[in-house]
Amino acid sequence: MLKNQILFFALFFSILSAPVYSQKILTKIADKTCDCINDKISHYSGSKPELFQSCLILTIKDNLKPLEREYGKNAFTDNKENANKIGVEIGKILASKCKVFIDFYVDQANEKSKKTDTINVQAINKMNSGDFPEAIQLFNQVIEDQPNNYDAYNSRGYCYYYSGQLYRAISDYIHATDINPNFAKAYSNMALAKYDLNDLSEALKDATQAVSLDSALAVAHNNRGLIYYKNERYDSAYIDFSKAFLHDSTSALYAYNAGLSLTEIDKDEQAIPYFNKALELNYVNAAIYNYLGIAQYRLNRYKESAESFTMCLAVDSMNATYYENRGSCFEKLDDYEKALLDFNNAIRLDSSNCKVFMKRGKVLLHLNKRKNACVDFNEAYALQCEEAKNLLEKNCK
């Protein structure tokens, strides 16, 4: 890369216009140019690129006659393409043997690299703080200066993903894996983007590639688990979610996902410790309490289940489902007054759920309020709950 940068700068001050010259003449020009630079540099007051150019011009003039004899009198004025080719050739020679020339452009390259590294750190900080548009602009600069920086492509892709620009994100992840085919994180991120686009077969290939490249990469296992879960392959999903949590036991999300997949295959007893672990990790989330409550309910632990749904409501008091679920627990505990209050709240928040009307109707029967119960059964039937028909026939003749 360094030699390429030096050659670029050589092009900057190349002024020749001729067909490709013999190596002998070009070497002579490069050597004389380097001698001139060394003679003048200690007392030259201008910039080094200006010195390099002035020495090159002087050397060309000194060798003009032999050049014209070989290539023609007008060979240096008619062909700019040849000028660039000659500049590259002289740059190669200077880059291989002229120390002052090499040192200057090495320093320039190092300074540019340091500046780019600083911009990269700024970009990462912006990304981590959620300022994705600004981060993208900074990563653009990094990639322009370091086109083989696969991590910058991956990071910019991450920013595009969380900006909702999924196809741009995937394009960057592809660039990252083209540069580094062993970059597991980029494959994992690409899997998640394709998952969001519902391209599950391709997402699964990418996630599996990520896991094969780095079997300890927790996020790769989690992302593949999401794909399995969406495909209703809950056993496979649990295996990946549990491995994700094994490799990163600080992630409440991985613990929650493992528990959730277990509830789908009726392994509620095994799911509960995962939900509790997620809560221990300060992941105060109503969804966790809800699924914990559901698992406890299905294990006939109605008191514990009611407590979990109470915690749901402490986090989100406007969710009808949480009131319905807790009401069902109170009904199982024969606490019909509390059940009635919860079903009332559930209907207040969502009057389209026919099942809650049936549940409240049953509670009203226990409270000897048959007339009110029949009103609820009728409402449930009107809302397309066919089961309400039997309740009406049995209790409301």
User: Which of 105, 78, 113, 97 minimizes the C-alpha distance to 13?
Assistant: 105
DSSP code of residue 20: P
User: Which of 25, 22, 19, 49 minimizes the C-alpha distance to 37?
Assistant: 49
81 pLDDT tier (thresholds 50, 70, 90): low
Confidence (pLDDT) at 77: 56
Query: Rg (Cα) of the chain, in Å, rounded?
Result: 36
Phi/psi of residue 278, each to 5°?
Answer: -60, -40
- Residue that is written with structure tokens 């007392």 in the block: 43
- Residue that is written with structure tokens 């997402």 in the block: 203
Sign for the pseudo-dihedral over CA of 181, 184, 188, 193? negative
Confidence (pLDDT) at 334: 97
Query: What value does the mean pLDDT take over residues 75-80?
Result: 55
Q: Torsion angle, CA of 19/20/22/27, rounded to 10 degrees?
A: 120
Instruction: Name every residue whose Cβ is closer than 8 Å to that of residue 111 and which is 6 or more positions away in sequence.
Output: none
Whether the predicted pLDDT of 75 surpasses 70? no
DSSP code of residue 1: -
Confidence (pLDDT) at 114: 72
97/231: higher pLDDT: 231
Estimate the crossing angle of helix 150-162 against helix 132-145, to 10 degrees: 160
User: Which of 74, 79, 111 minimizes the C-alpha distance to 15?
Assistant: 79
Average pLDDT, the chain: 87
Q: Which two structure tokens, joined as six digits, stand for 76?
A: 């240096």
Alpha-carbon gap, residue 231 to 192, rounded angstroms: 14
Over the chain, what HEC string results? CHHHHHHHHHHHCCCCCCCCCCHHHHHHHHHHHHHHHHHHHHHCCCCHHHHHHHHHHHHHHHCHHHHHHHHCCCCCCCCHHHHHHHHHHHHHHHHHHCHHHHHHHHHHHHHHHHHHHHHHHHHHHHHHCCCHHHHHHHHHHHHHHCCCCHHHHHHHHHHHHHCCCHHHHHHHHHHHHHHCCCCHHHHHHHHHHHHHCCCHHHHHHHHHHHHHHCCCCHHHHHHHHHHHHHCCCHHHHHHHHHHHHHHCCCCHHHHHHHHHHHHHCCCHHHHHHHHHHHHHCCCCCHHHHHHHHHHHHHCCCHHHHHHHHHHHHHHCCCCHHHHHHHHHHHHHCCCHHHHHHHHHHHHHHCCCCHHHHHHHHHHHHHCCCHHHHHHHHHHHHHCCCCCHHHHHHHHCC
pTM of the complete model: 0.72
Percent of the chain with pLDDT over 90: 68
Whether the predicted pLDDT of 375 surpasses 80? yes
Confidence (pLDDT) at 63: 74
Sign for the pseudo-dihedral over CA of 202, 208, 210, 212? negative
Confidence (pLDDT) at 218: 98
- Segment 187-210, tens digit of pLDDT: 999 999 999 999 999 999 999 999
Confidence (pLDDT) at 79: 52
Alpha-carbon gap, residue 128 to 296, rounded angstroms: 38
Cα–Cα distance list, 105 to 7, 109, 110 (Å): 10, 6, 8
User: Which of 346, 354, 352 minimizes the C-alpha distance to 318?
Assistant: 346
Whether the predicted pLDDT of 2 surpasses 80? no
- Segment 256-269, tens digit of pLDDT: 999 999 999 999 99
15 pLDDT tier (thresholds 50, 70, 90): very low
- Segment 315-360, tens digit of pLDDT: 999 999 999 999 999 999 999 999 999 999 999 999 999 999 999 9
What secondary structure does DSSP assign to 97-161, as a single string?
Answer: H-HHHHHHHHHHHHHHHHHHHHHHHHHHHHHHTT-HHHHHHHHHHHHHH-TT-HHHHHHHHHHHH
Confidence (pLDDT) at 46: 77
Whether the predicted pLDDT of 11 surpasses 50? no
